Chains A and B, each alone.
Chain A
Amino acid sequence: MTATIQLKGVSKFFGNIIALKDISFEAHKGEVTALLGDNGAGKSTLIKCLSGVHTPDEGEILIEGKPVKFGSPRQAAAAGIGTVYQDLALQPLMSVSRNFFLGREISKGLFLDLNKMSEVTRQEMAKLGIDVADPNQPIGTLSGGQRQTLAIARAIYFGAKVLILDEPTSALGQKQQLEVLRTVNEVRNRNDIAIIFITHNDLHARLIGDRFTFLNRGRILADGTKSEIDPDNLRNLMAGGAELAELEAELKN
């Protein structure tokens, strides 16, 4: 099966700094590829390469087997890359449905088709398991997890084949984190979208991931599918194994 998105030897340099070196991984539709790494591992740079903010200096990106080059986030979006950033790009005082369609509103003649917009918003949110009673309510009435779902539903509705989730659980409370994981699972069950799930939470990665890629200091430390990687090893890989053992020894003294 051709990967929905595949990276081959991607590198990115900023002056003399090697931000990413020789990154290769793939994501398939109906699967969650967990991208793990500590702060500074290069996760953000990698997302920016995928979503068209940066252009890689080496290597290539293939979508459904065809090499692509993005000059802007708009081109990446047109090619089917939907990125949900941590801050979600939502308008706090605007209604749920207006947020959903912001920048891509449905108009009937001169005027917005508000009924259609509400209807679609309700349907798309329902597909991800969230029942929006009134899409005309301000977004402030949604919980953090529901807002995350809205951003995901929006990306899917506007044609994402690859859904990039940038630390979707890190800013949320425990209960809402689970809500988001449930949403991610709903998207996986659609079987037509490849999900790239960026996180530094090994527990969440273990719960939801089908493939794992570990980044450390701009390089791939380890990768593999769920069956290939020993789940108990996840935490060690995350914390950089040896360093954790070192700290443990230090604390015991």
Chain B
Amino acid sequence: MEDERLRKVGALQTFVSRPELGSVFGLAIIVITFMTLTSISGTFSAMWTNPIGIQAWVELAAFVGILGIGASLLMIAGEFDLSMGANIALAGHSFALLLLFGVPVVPAIFLTFVELAILGYIIGSIVVRTGLPSFIVTLGFWFASRGFAVFLSQTLVNQSRLSVKTQLKPPAGGGEDPTLIDNIFAFDKAFGLPFDAEVYYFVILVIITAFMLHRTRYGNWIYAAGGDAQAARAVGVPVNRVKISLFMVSTCLACLLGILTVMTSGASDPKAGDFRELHAIAAAVIGGCALMGGYGSVIGAVLGALIFAIASRGINFVPFIDNNLFRVMLGFLVLGAALLNQFLRNRVLRG
């Protein structure tokens, strides 16, 4: 700090001060660990080379990762959304109910996105207007969103699980020509692609949001809103608008997953997305996002989601380890990652 001039830093140190660093190590450790464990139990090829085995963890990573994008953007802006998982169920149920009441697929999708965007606007406005911690506000919506979804479906059609198989045209594999909407939302089946549509959406969304975060002024404002909101306001950054817009991003990502789940499975389950908000937050934390805001990256959340998914699915390929031990392991993984990230962050702060 007493230096007259700035020190030159090499490429190594620049790399060391990236928020994703911890998760790069984490991913390497998890991959090596599970490759070793599956080799021991003779299931290496089932997990790592068999298409169905790969699908299992890649698709889970995409699901958690899409939410993780929202979780990490919000955390960088210093906020938090616990209602993401519940909003998946709300979106799925809203979409399914619209279909059951005869609304065609395309307008139903549009209306569901509008509904969830408004919900995000409401959540964000409550947070910035009242000054309550977003943890508390979204805890309220964690109860309310799923509760409202099930209440609606039970009141309107007297069911809590909504099957819409007859409302959705079977996609290409089913023998009929794929409709326009199959091409957009279930294009994996329409084009015979190896992974669920989530995976491709995930890749596209990661590229878009990563560029947005690091290369646009909006991204700059997200970091500033979470770093020091007062300082950001002093130089004219519209902090409240940035935060509200991110809550809308978060609910719209939940909406995407809710609709995709219904399109893929042909039904909307009231338990859809249960606990996924915590998995997404775990992915963001493993990926280097700071709970206090101002620090983190979307790429980190991607790595975090991969770590979560490999550990989560991998345990099924390692029969000699108890399933409950997996939760213990995951818990320590989150803790260890958070500690490592805190250490790295402090290095950046001190320079």
Contacts and interface: CB of A to CB of B under 8 A. Distances in A.
B115 interface: no
Given A89-B228, A103-B236, 20 more contacts: A74-B236, A89-B234, A90-B231, A91-B223, A91-B228, A93-B223, A93-B295, A93-B348, A94-B220, A98-B220, A98-B223, A103-B235, A105-B217, A112-B217, A137-B351, A140-B349, A140-B350, A142-B351, A143-B1, A143-B3
Contact of B227 (A87, A94, A103): A94
Interface stretch (B4-12, B29-37, B38-46, B131-139): B4-12
A110 B236 CA distance: 19
Contacts of A74: 236
B124 to A, nearest CB: 20
8 cross-chain pairs, A with B, having the tightest CB-CB distances, nearest first: A141-B351, A103-B235, A103-B236, A89-B234, A89-B231, A105-B217, A91-B227, A133-B6
Contacts of A144: 1
Nearest to B13: A137
A90 B224 CA distance: 9
B184 to A, nearest CB: 24
Interface string A89-105: 11111100010001111
B215 interface: yes
Contact of A91 (B5, B215, B217, B231): B231
A94 B237 CA distance: 14
Contact of A94 (B211, B223, B234): B223
Contacts of A114: 215
Size bin of chain A's contact surface: 20 to 34
B273 interface: no
Interface in A214-243: none
Which of B3, B5, B6 counts the most chain A CB atoms within 10 A? Answer: B6
Contact of A133 (B8, B224, B228, B349): B8
B119 interface: no
A91 B7 contact: no
A118 to B, nearest CB: 13
Interface in B217-272: 217, 220-221, 223-224, 227-228, 230-232, 234-237
B348 A138 contact: yes
A107 interface: yes
21 contacts: A85-B234, A89-B231, A90-B231, A91-B227, A91-B228, A98-B223, A102-B224, A102-B232, A103-B236, A104-B235, A107-B217, A111-B216, A112-B216, A134-B9, A137-B9, A138-B348, A138-B349, A140-B348, A140-B351, A141-B6, A141-B351
B220 A112 contact: yes
B6 A132 contact: yes
Interface in A56-103: 73-74, 85, 87-94, 98, 102-103
A17 to B, nearest CB: 25
B294 interface: yes
Size bin of chain B's contact surface: 20 to 34
Contacts of B295: 93
A143 B2 contact: yes
B6 A142 contact: yes
A102 B235 contact: yes
A235 B5 CA distance: 34
Interface in B4-31: 5-9, 17
A146 B350 CA distance: 15
A139 to B, nearest CB: 9
A175 interface: yes
A133 B223 contact: no
A92 B294 contact: yes
A186 interface: no
A110 B223 contact: no
A102 to B, nearest CB: 5
Interface in B311-351: 345, 348-351
B220 A105 contact: yes
Interface in A102-126: 102-105, 107, 110-112, 114
A92 B229 CA distance: 12
B2 A91 contact: no
B116 to A, nearest CB: 25
A134 B8 CA distance: 7
A186 to B, nearest CB: 15
A137 B351 CA distance: 9
Nearest to A74: B236
A133 B1 CA distance: 15
A104 B351 contact: no
